[in-house]
Chain A
Amino acid sequence: MSVRLVYFAWVRERIGKGSEEIDLPPEVKTVGELIAHLATLGEEYEAALQVPGVIRAALDEEHADHDEPIGGAREIALFPPMTGG
C-alpha cells in the first residue's frame, strides 16, 4: 500500500525532505512500526527518529498514538512535540 508521509520541524530537517510517497511493507501495521521501519532506511532517518518516544504522529490530520493501526490512512505525518501559541 502506498502512503504519503509528511514531516515537520526538526524531523523534516533531519530527514531532508518535507514529504514523500512510500510503499508500506506488509508487516508495518501501526504508527510505531512505521517509525521503526523508517529508522532503518538511512542515517538521515535514523538521526530524525533515534528517540521514537518523542515523535508525534497524525493519520489523515488526526493525532495518533504509536500503537494505533495505520489502517487505510492516506497521509501520515511525523513531527516533534508542538510549540505553537
Chain B
Amino acid sequence: MTVAARMPDEAAHRVDVRIQAHDFDSAAEIAALTAGRADIGAVVTFTGLCRDEGGRLAALELEHYPGMAERAIRAIATEAVARFSLQGILAIHRHGKIAPGGNIVLVVAAAPHRQAAFDGAAFLMDYLKTDAPFWKKEHLKDGGTGEWVSAKDADDAAKARWTSAQ
C-alpha cells in the first residue's frame, strides 16, 4: 500500500491539479499557494517549456486523456505530499497547440524546508513524465506534420530512482 493510500484525506486537501488549454502565471500561482501562511519555509517551482528543437518546430500539440490525466497527476501529487510531508503542491498541465517558448507544465511544491520541496517537485515530474496520459506531436516550421515524440528510457530511469534509493 502506498503512503498516500494510508492518509488519503490529509494529503488530498493539500493538492491542486489543473488540466487546461490556457496559459498560467507562475508568480501568481506561487503567491496564491503561500498567501496568508507563515509556516511555509521553502517553495520550489518547475516550469516545462516547449523547445524549438534547433529551429525545426513550429509547435507541439499535446493530446491528453481527459479525466484520466487529472486523476493520474492527482494520485502522484497526493503521494508526493504524503511521502515528503509537503504543505501544498500545485500541478498545472496544458493541452492543445503550444508554440516554442510557451509553457507546458508547472509544478509548485511547498514545505517547511528546502529538501522536501525540491524532492516533492522532482518526484511529481518524474512520475508525471511516464504515468500521466499526455502525448506530444510535432508540427514543423516547413508546414508539415512531424512525428509523435517518442518516450525516453531516461524518463523511466528517472522514475526508478525513487523506488531503488530508499
Contacts and interface: CB of A to CB of B under 8 A. Distances in A.
A81 interface: yes
Contact of A80 (B68, B69, B93, B151): B151
A34 to B, nearest CB: 17
Given A83-B151, A85-B104, A85-B105, A77 B65 contact: yes
Interface string A1-34: 0000010111000000000000000000000000
Contacts of B104: 85
Contact of A83 (B67, B72, B150): B150
Interface in A51-85: 58, 61-63, 77, 79-85
Given A8-B63, A8-B135, A82 B129 contact: yes
A81 to B, nearest CB: 3
Interface residues of B, number: 28
A85 B132 contact: yes
B64 A83 contact: no
Contacts, number: 71
Of the four ranges (under 10, 10 to 19, 20 to 34, 35 or more), the interface on chain A belongs to 10 to 19
Contact of A10 (B72, B130, B148): B148
A8 to B, nearest CB: 6
Contacts of B125: 85
A85 B131 contact: no
B137 interface: yes
Nearest to B136: A83
Interface string B122-166: 000100111111111100000000001111000000000000000
Residue of A9, A10, A77 with most partner-chain B CB within 10 A: A9
B104 to A, nearest CB: 7
B151 A82 contact: yes
A80 B67 contact: no
B51 to A, nearest CB: 12
Interface of B: 48, 62-65, 67-69, 71-72, 93, 104-105, 125, 128-137, 148-151
Nearest 7 interchain pairs by C-beta: A84-B134, A81-B151, A9-B135, A61-B68, A85-B129, A83-B149, A83-B136
